Structure 1
Amino acid sequence: MGSSSGIKALLVVMVVGVFSTEVQSVEPPEHFVEQVKTECHFPDGGAGAGAYFLHRYFWGRQELVRFDSRRGTFQAVTELGEPDARLWNSRPEVLERKRAELDSFCRHNYAIGEPFAAARKLKPQLQITPMDSEPSSHHTLLVCTAASFFPAKIDIRWLRNGQEEDESRVVSTELIRNGDWTFSIQVMLEALPERGDVYTCRVEHASLPDPTSIQWEPQSDSARSKMWTGVVGLLLGLVFVVPGLALYLKKKKGTAIPPPAALIS
C-alpha cells in the first residue's frame, strides 16, 4: 500500500492476550494516518487450535484490508482495500509467509512468555455484599466479588444450603481489567432468603490449591431490630453528650485560677 510523501507510517505491533485476555491498544495521535497492526488472539486460554493471527492495515483510522489466519487470505474491509487484497492474494509467497506467522510469531512468543505468566498467581480477594430490593419485596441481591486475581480464568458458583443455585438466577459481570495485570469480577444471585439459610460463594482458581468459599446468612428480624436500636441509642447518646461536654469545657476555660496561698499578703 502506498503512502503520501512526508507522512511517516506508524507500526503498532500488538500481541493481544497472553492467555484468554485481550490488551486494548491506545489510539495514536491524529497526525498518524497510516497504521499496521499485528494481533495474536488466544481466546481459549492457550496457543492451541483456537489461536489465530490478524494483520490489519489502516488509513486515516479506517481499516482497509486485513489478513486473518482463520481464512488464510487477505480480505478487503472497504472498497479502497480491494486492490491490495487482490494483489497480495495473487502472490503465493506473500500468502505462505503470512500463514506461517501464526506459528512463527504468535505461538513462538506465547511459548516464551508462558513460563513467566504461569509462575505469577495471585489469589482472589472475596467479599459478599447483600443489597436489599424494594421494601415490599423479600428478595435480596447477593453480590460475590472476586478482586485482584491472576490469571484471568476463574469459576464462581452460588450455593444455598450446600445445593448449587439455578443458573437462571445468577448473573455475572464481564471480566474487569484493573490495569495492573490483575482482574476482578462480580457474580450476583437473586435470593429469597429464609431464616436458617446459608448462602455460599464458591471459587475455583489456579492460585488456590482447593476451591475456597465464603458464606452469608440472612439476619433475623429481631437481630435487625437490635442493630437499629443500638444505632439509634448511640446517636441519641451523642446528641446529649456532645453539647454537655462542650458546655463543660467552655465553663472550665472561663474560670479564673486563684494564686498560690504563699503569694497572698
Structure 2
Amino acid sequence: MTPSGFRSQLALCGQRRRSFRELKRESVFSQDVMTPALNFGVGVVSMGFVVLVFLPEVESARQPREHFIFQEKHECHYHNGTQRVRYLDRYIYGRQETFHFDSDRGQFVAVTPLGEIDAACLNKQKELLEYKRREVDTICRFSYAEVEGFLKERKVQPKVKITPTFSSPSLHNLLICNVAGFWPLAIKITWFRNGKEEDEARVFHTDLTRNGDWTFQIQVMLETQLEHGDIYTCQVEHASFPEPVTVQWEPDSSRSKMWTGVAGFVLGLVFLAPGLTLYMKTKKEALMS
C-alpha cells in the first residue's frame, strides 16, 4: 500500500458522500510541511498537506462562489522519548475534523457523522490498516531519530531584563522580569527581595510564547511596595546557563536616572534659551539692515 494508493481508497470511500461528489472542479495541493512543536514535556511532530477544493462555478461567474479546505494532519506524540509513541492521522473538512486514524486503537475513528462512512469504509481495508499501523514506526520513530540531536543539543541563552512600572510610592508597584529568546522551554524564574525569596502569592507570569525562531519568551511580574534601600533580584535557571543568572534592580537607582534625565532636560533649556534669543536678535537686525 502506497500513499497514493491510500488516497485512492479514501477517494472511493468519499464518493459515497454527496458533499465530496460535488467537490470535483478544482484542486490545489500544497507541499508537505513538517512543523515540530513542544507541549510541556510531550513532544509533538506534525506533518500535513492542504487541499483546496472549490465548488463548481456558475457559468456567468469568473471566480468560485465558495470554497472548502480538506486537510490531512499527521501527529506524533512522544512520551519519555520513544518508549510510548502515539500516531494520529487527522482528516479535516470545512475546518472541522471528521475522522482520524489512531495508532493506539489500530483503526480509523469517526469524529462527526460526516466521517462515519469514511471510517467504516477504510476499516474494511485490511491491507490499508496494516499500512497505517506501521506508520507509527515509519513516520514517528523515524522522525524522532532525525530531530533528536537537534532538540536535545540546541541551547540558547535567554536575555534577562527588569522593567519597573510606577504608580505611587504608597501603593503597590509592578516589577516585570522579561526573559526572552531561550531554548529549550524548561526554565525557572524566581524573585528575591533583599536576598529573600518573595511570596508566590505576589508573583504572576504570562504563558510561554513561541517567537517563531525555535525560542520562547515569558514575563514574570512581582507586585510589591517599593521602599528606600531595597534590592530586587530576578534569578533565572536554564539549561543554557552553567549556574543561575541574576539581574538586580534598586528603586533609588531608577529614580536617580529619572532625576538625571529631568536635570539634563532643564539644563538643555537653560542653554537653548540664550542661544535662541541671540539667533532671533541677529536675524532681526539682518532684516532691518
Give how far 1:71 is off. Answer: 4.5
Counterpart in the other structure of 1:187: 220
Task: Tell me, yes or no, if the aligned pair for 2:30 and 2:51 is still in contact at 8 Å.
Answer: no
1:237 aligns with 2:267: yes
Q: Identify the match of residue 117 of structure 2 among 83, 88, 104.
A: 83
Give how far 1:128 is off. Answer: 0.8
How far apart are the structure 1 equivalents of 2:170 and 2:260? 25
1:36 aligns with 2:72: yes
1:7 aligns with 2:26: yes
1:108 aligns with 2:142: yes
Q: Which has the higher strand share?
A: 2
Give how far 1:48 is off. Answer: 4.1
- 2:213 counterpart SS class: coil
How far apart are the structure 2 equivalents of 1:71 and 1:139? 54
How far apart are the structure 2 equivalents of 1:173 and 1:26? 33
Query: Judging changes above 3 Å, is the alpha-carbon distance between structure 1 residues 180 and 168 closer, same or farther for their aligned structure 2 residues?
Result: same
CA RMSD of aligned residues (A): 3.5
| Paired letter, 1:7 | E
- 2:27 counterpart SS class: coil
Query: Judging changes above 3 Å, is the alpha-carbon distance between structure 1 residues 217 and 228 closer, same or farther for their aligned structure 2 residues?
Result: closer
Structure 1 gaps of 5+ residues are 257-265
TM-score (norm 2): 0.70
Counterpart in the other structure of 1:148: 181
How far apart are the structure 1 equivalents of 2:212 and 2:266? 45
Give how far 1:19 is off. Answer: 4.6
How far apart are the structure 2 equivalents of 1:174 and 1:50? 27
How far apart are the structure 1 equivalents of 2:74 and 2:165? 44
Structure 2 gaps of 5+ residues are 1-9, 15-19, 55-67
| Paired letter, 2:152 | A
State how 1:50-129 maps to structure 2 within 5 Å: 51-129=85-163
State how 1:106-255 maps to structure 2 within 5 Å: 106-133=140-167, 135=168, 137-219=170-252, 224=255, 230-251=260-281
Give how far 1:130 is off. Answer: 1.5
How far apart are the structure 1 equivalents of 2:125 and 2:51? 31
- 1:129 counterpart SS class: strand
Give how far 1:193 is off. Answer: 3.9
- 1:33 counterpart SS class: strand
Paired residues in the alignment total 250
Give how far 1:174 is off. Answer: 1.6
| Paired letter, 1:234 | G
Equivalent pairs: percent with the same residue? 43
How far apart are the structure 2 equivalents of 1:33 and 1:203? 44
How far apart are the structure 1 equivalents of 2:211 and 2:175? 22
TM-score (norm 1): 0.75
How far apart are the structure 2 equivalents of 1:49 and 1:167? 36
Query: Judging changes above 3 Å, is the alpha-carbon distance between structure 1 residues 170 and 234 closer, same or farther for their aligned structure 2 residues?
Result: same
- 2:269 counterpart SS class: helix
